[in-house]
Amino acid sequence: MSATSAPTASVSATPRLEELEPPQLPSGSDYPSLSAHFAPLFERIAAGARDRDLHRELPFAEIAALNRVGFALLRVPREHGGVGASVRTYIRLLIDLAAADSNVAHQYRSHAGFVESLRFLDDDRSRHWYAQLRAGATVGNASTEKGGNALGTLNTVLTQRSGGADQDATWVLDGEKFYATGSLFATHTRVSASLTGPGGDVTGERSFAVVPTTAAGVELEDDWNGFGQKLTATGTARFHEVEVEPLAVLPRRIGTPEAVFEASFFQLVLLAVLAGIARAVREETATGVRERKRTFNTGLGLPYREDPLIQEATGNIAATAFAVEATVLHAAGTFDDALAEAARTGADRHDHSGAVPAEFYTAELAIQQAQITVPEQTIRVASELFLTGGASNTAVEKGLDRHWRNAQTVATHNPIVFRSRQVGDWFINGTLPQGLSAIGDAPASAAASAPTQE
């Protein structure tokens, strides 16, 4: 296998909902009780993280074990059969999981975003999907198209087919996606798509289709070949005439409370993954220094663990990891505030008749600012880890490079310069961050398309 190739995973390991037993829920919803519930499993996941990365073994068993003990139900409200944990508690647990294995934590990003979206749907859809989650359903993601779609548009389409006299209309999904993170591990995947109008023309509307990953016409590949986050099953997803039931078509309008909240929540999960990586770097550093016997001839001749310069370098890494985690948890708290305000004002009603509460934008701006600092700080400490151990830290079998590779890969999801510009525009001009509904090819600039002058 070449250095840039990736094996194609068999979908035989992809779970089928009808084969699963309902997850076992933890008894409490507070962090201490939930931490005690999940900690033994997190430790087992951490124990195999290095070898899984070295040998590219996808964590099907680890994710299935987490789902069996209720991790996927943490943010499902208690009245719908879930744990009902706060956003801050969930993110704190996700950081714990990311410290054990950032690949495993990352694949829950899509599922977590889907769970949050249910709060804003109509009663029929939310009841249906909460029941599916309680039965063991998990949801991956298939949103981004690799190329060929114009910025803000999608080539993947949902086409409505008329039902018979006694049948509801059905929908059919066609298209291809890339970056389908977590879908191979999930029972379903949520696919962003344009809608076709009565005449077959693609409209400007956007919806999601939630389809079983094992349904006829669904093809998933583990062809992600990035140098980091190699075990997230991020790769190609193809959909050919996939039938979609009406309750699985989820409308989405830009600028609604649901759209603003979920877009920011997706980024919060990435920040939690980075915070977990920073903590893992801290632990790797301290353990490596504590166990090292040899020292350098240019040092002070002290035992390595007693060398003040090495202690200082380790302390700087620890302090940065602390600051990263504190930043992410502070941002998480703003989401709890936003949801409380939405419940008070009715901004979470499915008709989207209310204005977006100011607290939603407070959360979004918290995320924007954290995205400027957290990635850079995490990448930096992942590099400084090597300063505390010398060339032996680069040994492949140690697997220490995975922390830098994983942090760098997660950080590239959101170019920092764009976030910096938006934050600056807010503080200078009061301009709220805005984004298009889909990544795509930018139109040619006026300068590029203008004729040249001889």
Contact (Cβ atoms closer than 8 angstroms) between residue 191 and residue 142: yes
Contact (Cβ atoms closer than 8 angstroms) between residue 376 and residue 341: no
Specify the pLDDT at position 209. Answer: 96
Per CATH, the number for 257-429 is 1.20.140.10
d(CA 136, CA 68): 8
The domains of the chain are located at 11-138, 142-252, 257-429
Contact (Cβ atoms closer than 8 angstroms) between residue 114 and residue 342: no
Contact (Cβ atoms closer than 8 angstroms) between residue 35 and residue 378: no
d(CA 194, CA 252): 10
Per CATH, the number for 142-252 is 2.40.110.10
Residue 418, sorted as left (phi over 0), alpha (psi -120 to 50) or beta, turns out to be: alpha
- Other beta carbons within 10 angstroms of residue 389's beta carbon come to 22
Residue range 364-418, pLDDT digits in tens = 999 999 999 999 999 999 999 998 887 888 999 999 999 999 999 999 887 788 8
Contact (Cβ atoms closer than 8 angstroms) between residue 398 and residue 51: no
Classify domain 11-138 at the CATH topology level. Answer: Butyryl-Coa Dehydrogenase, subunit A; domain 1 (1.10.540)
Largest Cα span, the chain: 87
d(CA 134, CA 81): 6
Contact (Cβ atoms closer than 8 angstroms) between residue 105 and residue 276: yes
Structure tokens belonging to residue 393: 């830290």
Specify the pLDDT at position 437. Answer: 52
The DSSP 8-state label assigned to residue 401 in this structure reads H
d(CA 354, CA 107): 32
Beta pairing class for 139-142 and 218-220: unpaired
Specify the pLDDT at position 49. Answer: 97
Nearest CA to 247 among 175, 293, 188?
A: 188
d(CA 52, CA 332): 30
Structure tokens belonging to residue 95: 């950081």
Contacts of 292 (CB under 8 A, 6+ apart): 304, 305, 389
**pTM metric for this prediction:** 0.91
The DSSP 8-state label assigned to residue 345 in this structure reads H
> From first to last of its 454 residues, what are the pLDDT tens digits of the chain?
333 344 444 455 788 898 999 999 998 999 999 999 999 999 999 999 999 999 999 999 999 999 999 999 999 999 999 999 999 999 999 999 999 999 999 999 999 999 999 999 999 999 999 999 999 999 999 988 876 655 566 889 999 886 654 556 789 999 999 889 999 999 999 999 988 866 667 766 679 999 999 999 999 999 988 889 999 988 899 999 999 999 999 988 888 889 899 999 999 999 999 999 999 999 999 999 998 877 776 667 788 888 998 999 999 999 999 999 999 999 999 999 999 999 998 888 776 556 899 999 999 999 999 999 999 999 999 999 998 887 888 999 999 999 999 999 999 887 788 889 999 999 999 998 876 555 655 565 544 444 433 3
User: Residue 140 forms beta bridges with which residues?
Assistant: 189
Contacts of 170 (CB under 8 A, 6+ apart): 160, 161, 163, 243, 244, 245, 246
